[in-house]
Structure formats: C-alpha cells, structure tokens
C-alpha cells in the first residue's frame, strides 16, 4: 500500500515535470534564463526548499525529475562547488538570512563558488591551516594563502576556512566564511597540470575584507562545517549525486556563459567534440566494454573477467553510496560511509585507467592525431590519479574507515589539545614529525 502511494506520487511528479518541460524547455533560451526557469519551478535542486531552486522533494522524486530532464534532451541544472557543497552547507548551517541571500543565486547558476580550504602546509592535516582572519569592527580582515582551489579563477565567492583564534587547540579556532572574490587583495594564479590543463589555482589573500555576517556557523566552530563540506564533496566524488548538472555550461557571471544562447553552447560543444570526442562515462565498465569491442578484444576471457570484476565493484559501490545518503538522512554523520564510496571510486578510476591502457597497447602512449576515441582514454589516464587526492587522499579515507567504522585505535596525535600558537606548523616552521600525527581530511 505504502509502495503504491509512493509510486503514484512519483508518477505524478513525472507527469508534472514532463508537461512543464514541454511548455518551457527551448534550446534558443539564454543559459541564465533557462537556469532561472528551472530554479523557479523547483526542478533545479529538487531536494532544496521552495523558493530556493527546489521543492523539498525526496531523493526518489529528484531522481525522476533528473531522468525526465535528460529524456527531454534539456540542459541540466548548474554544477560546481557552490551548487554541490555551498548550497547544502548553507541549508544545514547557514542563517535564514544567508540562505535567502545566496541559495537562490546558486540554484539559478547566477554564481560560481570555489573551495578555499587547502594550504601549502595544510592538506591532509587541514586543521593545521594558517590563513588568518582578524576582527576589525563589523568585518574580518583575511591574510594568507590557499592552494589547489578549483574554479577560483572565475568564482564569485569562496568557501573559506580561516584561523580566528590561535590560543585554542587547532580544531577549535577555525571559522568558516563566505568570501567575495571579486575584490582587491585577491590574486589567483593557475597551476598547470600534467594533463595539460590548469583546472586549479593558488589563491593569495591580502587584507581581504569579509563582512561579519558572512560567518557560517558559530565563531571558532568552523571545523564541523568543514567536515560536512568534505562529506558532501566525497559523496559527489563517490557517485552519490542524483543530479546531472549541465556538462557544457558553467555557472556564474564571471564565467561569461549566462548571457549566451544554449543552442550556441550546444553547437560549440559539438564542434569541440568533433575535434576531441568525449566518451560518456569514460571511467565506467560500460566504456571499457565498448573499448574492448572497438579494439577487437571483447572475446578475450581475461579482459572479460577484468571488466566483469570492475562492474561488480562499481555496482557494490553505488549501493554503498546510497547507504551513506540514507545514513545522512537519518541524521547521523555519514563520514566513514562517504569515505568508503570515495575510496572505491578512486580504485575504480585506476582500474579503468589500467584496463583501457592495456586494451590500447602502444596507442595508449599517444594523445594526439587520429587515435581511438580521440584520445579520451589517454586523457582520462592522465587525470585519474587526482581522484585519490582531491577531497582527502586514499590513505586518509583508510584512516577514517579504520578508526570510525572498524573501531581501530586512533592515530596518535600529539598536537590535538595544545593551543595552536604553541605548535610549530606550516611550510616555514614545521619540524620533522615522526609521530604520524593528525590527518583530518
């Protein structure tokens, strides 16, 4: 009976979104117009509140909405750090005023945000961060450096972790802010990667001003907010999202796409694809199967066995990520479960790299010219190692799983309770540390 009511409800949602798409989706709309329509209808981020891009639906209904958007060939909602992490964080920890100020803009893709967490001396040991925010009347003044910040070059705002009190232990004096990046004192320098792209940056902040009302959560209580951010990031990386954000368009005014016609963006992406074909889901078992067929090795029993094993692991992971979401919905922290999903997805990435390169043989060493799938597998092979670093390394996920799921003893951490100013941390001052202390990503 409950099941029937539930499926009736989903059928109603499906019918509603189909009708709405028929009436509203047009490829000649401007990108910003379309995303605004999607948000106003509550179809952009369906689980978010009404008036903020959603309609507070359950995940099953959100999935139906995503499916229908895909089936209609319509463009999905905006994607990016702001939408995947910023929105959920504001809904969970922000004040009502902060939600009203920022969430609708994120939902409609009007803003792009980045994550300003890591520093040269604070990656795995994130709680060792040194960037300072000092109170000056009704504002904070920020000085320091961040590193590896994706999309910072076009982001309007950043989710910033800053030290606001050095006299307390390292996790207690951290605060979480939303910082406006379009101001003097913000310098963004791109970092060139081995795949030839520059998708992340160093960010230098010198006397950058943050209004007091941009503090998210309580003063000095940024650590749990940071942990929740990392959990949202890991769930996304681990494949737990139901949304299918637009691949061909990025949000935010500074990105310059909002005033462009969707048809032009589609055409541009097709042209780019002709030059360098995109293999959908290039890391999935399905892509491995297609590649095996294309190179005539799909009857090789060893290849078949390897792809089948990958498929089994991928399915098990999908279910595990679903379980992590369910844990979160029941109000418990889903940290270790999210860590499992993330760890397995970096393992799957490596497996995809190794299977595809072995199928390609010598061609796996070539990235240009008339090559299989335009070099998509080679590009993937050059990028996939980032999965085991971004959002917390594999080793850190293993530590979290060991300590929090398996109940193994905690890593020794000699600096846990000492006031931060008594520690010698960071790139200049750090002493060799043979204690194995303190990874907290």
Ligand X SMILES: Cc1cc2nc3c(=O)[nH]c(=O)nc-3n(C[C@H](O)[C@H](O)[C@H](O)COP(=O)(O)OP(=O)(O)OC[C@H]3O[C@@H](n4cnc5c(N)ncnc54)[C@H](O)[C@@H]3O)c2cc1C
Q: Which residue has the tokens 């310098």?
A: 187
Among 18, 30, 124, 327, indicate the residue that binds ligand X (CB under 6 A).
Answer: 124
Q: Which residue has the tokens 């769930």?
A: 235
| Residue 233: active-site member | yes
Candidates 397, 394, 304, 387; CA nearest to 353 is: 387
Interface with ligand X, residue 325, by CB under 6 A:
no
CA angle in degrees (0–180, nearest 5) for 373-376-380: 150
Shortest distance in whole angstroms from residue 364 CB to ligand X? 22
Interface with ligand X, residue 342, by CB under 6 A:
no
Among 63, 101, 132, 150, indicate the residue that binds ligand X (CB under 6 A).
Answer: 150
Strands 157-163 and 113-116: parallel
- Tell me how far apart the alpha carbons of residues 263 and 30 are, in angstroms, rounded to a whole number: 9
Closer of 140 and 200 to ligand X (Cβ): 200
Shortest distance in whole angstroms from residue 6 CB to ligand X? 37
Enumerate residues 384-423 that contact ligand X by CB under 6 A: 386, 389-393, 395-396, 399, 411
Shortest distance in whole angstroms from residue 78 CB to ligand X? 17
How many residues bind ligand X, per CB under 6 A? 24
Q: Please pick, among 233, 236, 337, 351, the residue that the annotation labels catalytic.
A: 233
Interface with ligand X, residue 239, by CB under 6 A:
no
- Tell me how far apart the alpha carbons of residues 356 and 279 are, in angstroms, rounded to a whole number: 12
Contact 112, 80 (CB under 8 A): yes
Candidates 114, 396, 91, 105; CA nearest to 234 is: 396
Contact 94, 213 (CB under 8 A): no
Enumerate residues 60-119 that contact ligand X by CB under 6 A: 114-118
Interface with ligand X, residue 425, by CB under 6 A:
no
Interface with ligand X, residue 195, by CB under 6 A:
no
Q: Report CA Rg, the chain.
A: 23
Contact 39, 104 (CB under 8 A): yes
* Residue of closest CB approach to ligand X: 123
String marking each residue 197-226 x if it binds ligand X according to CB under 6 A: ---x--------------------------
Contacts with ligand X, residue ranges (CB under 6 A):
114-118, 123-124, 148-150, 200, 386, 389-393, 395-396, 399, 411, 436, 439, 441
The residues assigned a catalytic role are 233
């Amino acid at each position: 009976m409950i099941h029937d009511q539930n499926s009736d409800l989903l059928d109603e949602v499906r019918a509603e979104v189909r009708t709405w798409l028929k009436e509203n989706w047009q490829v000649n709309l401007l990108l910003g117009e379309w995303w605004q329509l999607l948000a106003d209808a509550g179809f952009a981020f369906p689980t978010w509140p009404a008036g903020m891009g959603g309609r507070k639906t359950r995940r099953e209904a959100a999935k139906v909405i995503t499916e229908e958007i895909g089936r209609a060939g319509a463009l999905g909602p905006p994607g990016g750090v702001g939408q995947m992490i910023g929105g959920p964080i504001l809904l969970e920890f922000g004040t009502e005023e902060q939600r009203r100020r920022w969430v609708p803009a994120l939902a409609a893709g009007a803003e792009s945000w980045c994550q300003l967490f890591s520093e040269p001396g604070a990656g795995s040991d994130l709680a060792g961060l040194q960037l300072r925010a000092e109170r000056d009347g009704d504002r904070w003044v920020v000085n320091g450096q961040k590193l590896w910040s994706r999309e910072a070059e076009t982001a309007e705002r950043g989710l910033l972790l800053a030290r606001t009190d050095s006299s307390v232990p390292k996790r207690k004096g951290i605060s979480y802010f939303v910082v406006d990046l379009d101001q003097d004192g913000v310098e963004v320098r791109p970092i060139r990667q081995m795949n030839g792209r520059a998708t992340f940056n160093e960010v230098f902040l010198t006397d950058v001003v943050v209004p007091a009302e941009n503090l998210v959560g309580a003063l000095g209580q940024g650590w749990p907010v940071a942990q929740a951010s990392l959990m949202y990031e890991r769930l996304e990386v681990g494949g737990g999202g139901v949304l299918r954000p637009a691949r061909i368009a990025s949000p935010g005014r500074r990105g310059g796409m909002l005033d462009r016609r969707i048809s032009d963006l589609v055409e541009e992406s097709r042209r780019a694809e002709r030059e360098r074909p995109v293999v959908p889901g290039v890391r999935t078992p399905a892509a491995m199967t297609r590649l095996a067929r294309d190179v005539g090795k799909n009857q090789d029993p060893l290849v078949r066995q390897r792809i089948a094993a990958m498929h089994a692991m991928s399915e098990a992971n999908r279910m595990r990520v679903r379980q992590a979401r369910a844990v979160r919905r029941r109000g418990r922290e889903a940290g270790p479960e999210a860590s499992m999903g993330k760890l397995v997805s970096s393992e799957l990435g490596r497996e995809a790299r190794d299977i595809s390169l072995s199928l390609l043989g010598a061609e796996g060493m070539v990235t240009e010219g008339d090559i299989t799938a335009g070099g998509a597998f080679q590009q993937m092979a050059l990028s996939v190692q980032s999965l085991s670093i971004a959002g917390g390394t594999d080793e850190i996920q293993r530590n979290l799983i060991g300590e929090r799921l398996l109940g193994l003893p905690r890593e020794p951490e000699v600096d846990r309770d000492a006031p931060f100013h008594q520690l010698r941390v960071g790139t200049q001052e750090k002493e060799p540390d043979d204690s194995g202390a303190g990874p907290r990503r």
